[in-house]
Amino acid sequence: MRALSRRSARERESLFLVEGPQAVHEVVFHRCDVVKDLYIDAEAASRHTAVLEVARAGGVSIHEVSQEVLAAMCDTKVPQGILAVCRPIDIDLDTVLAAHPKLLLVLTNVRDPGNAGTVIRGADAAGADAVLVSDSSVDIYNPKVVRSTAGSLFHLPIVVGVPIPVLLDRVGHAGLTLLAADGSGESQLADVDLAGPHAWVMGNEAWGLESGVREACDSAVRVPIYGKAESLNLAMAATICLYASAYVQRADPISG
């Protein structure tokens, strides 16, 4: 079980771990169809009755185990008495594009699990239609990614494993404008038309987007820096861009 904290084991078994009350609550309430087993200790079982009820109704196998067994199964240092073993939640790019998305987030070469998770959480909060994670990025089933999405991994469609050139080509052909988020982009966020369907393309936390990716996009957009900071971090930049899109698309502009 513990081996599932390694990517190779997750891929071989086609299973991943969801640890802790909040994440397990979210997967059980939003994607009970992917939950295979739920492991819980006696203390947690007495506290999380609603989760157990929904899981049982959804056909999940529930196993009451000791704290020690649970601790040995977990990636986290402080397991909180509850853990789910789940099947992959990612879906086909075709399915995402068939739903006529208006706002997508594309991640390429994002390597830090905490950043990837936080960005997925931001995309969820901003109401993005899906997140597309290219095959050169961190594994979204990494326990650190799962934790840092704070449940958002189970709230919106996620596509994984598609090479970035294919992602950009398919999304562009589906009629979405490709906006490269880039600190040195030629357009400023406030000057970009965000009303139509579009995808934000975000690159590596340290070195940004590769030039080939930037060139494959329709424009490169920068978040304005009003102070002396050199840049924003990936999660902040992504969230600002996605919220800017949400405000405009939902006809809910920020105004004085």
Identify whether the C-beta of residue 200 lies closer than 8 Å to the C-beta of residue 176: no
CB of 254 to a second copy, least distance (A): 5
Q: Which residue has the tokens 């002396």?
A: 228
Give how far the C-alpha of residue 110 lies from the chain's centroid of Cα atoms, to the nearest Å. Answer: 11
User: What is the smallest separation between the CB atom of 224 and a second copy, expressed in angstroms?
Assistant: 7
- Identify which of residues 19 and 124 has a Cβ nearer to a second copy in the complex: 124
Q: How far is the CB of 13 from a second copy (least distance, A)?
A: 28
Q: How far is the CB of 154 from a second copy (least distance, A)?
A: 8
CB of 95 to a second copy, least distance (A): 18
- Select 8 or 226, whichever has its Cβ closest to a second copy: 226
| Cβ within 8 Å of residue 73, ≥6 positions away | 1, 2, 17, 39, 65, 79, 83
Point out which residues pair with 39 in neighbouring strands: 63, 83
Q: Which of residues 95 and 231 has its CB atom nearest to a second copy in the complex? A: 231
d(CA 186, CA 221): 6
Q: CB-wise, 108 or 245, nearer to a second copy? A: 245
Instruction: Please report which residue ranges of 149-230 form alpha helices under DSSP H.
Output: 164-173, 211-216
Task: Please name which of 63, 9, 65 lies closest in space to residue 35, comparing C-alpha atoms.
Answer: 63
User: In the bound complex, what is the minimum distance in angstroms from residue 61's beta carbon to a second copy?
Assistant: 26
Helix intervals (H) in 126-193: 143-148, 164-173
Name the residues that contact a second copy, by CB under 8 A: 30, 118, 121-128, 150-152, 155-156, 189-190, 193-195, 223-233, 235-236, 239-240, 243-244, 246-248, 250, 252-256
User: Which CB atom, from 40 or from 241, has the smaller least distance to a second copy?
Assistant: 241
Sheet strands (E) in the chain: 16-19, 35-40, 61-64, 82-86, 103-107, 130-134, 158-162, 177-181, 187-188, 198-202, 219-222
Nearer to a second copy, 6 or 144 (CB): 144
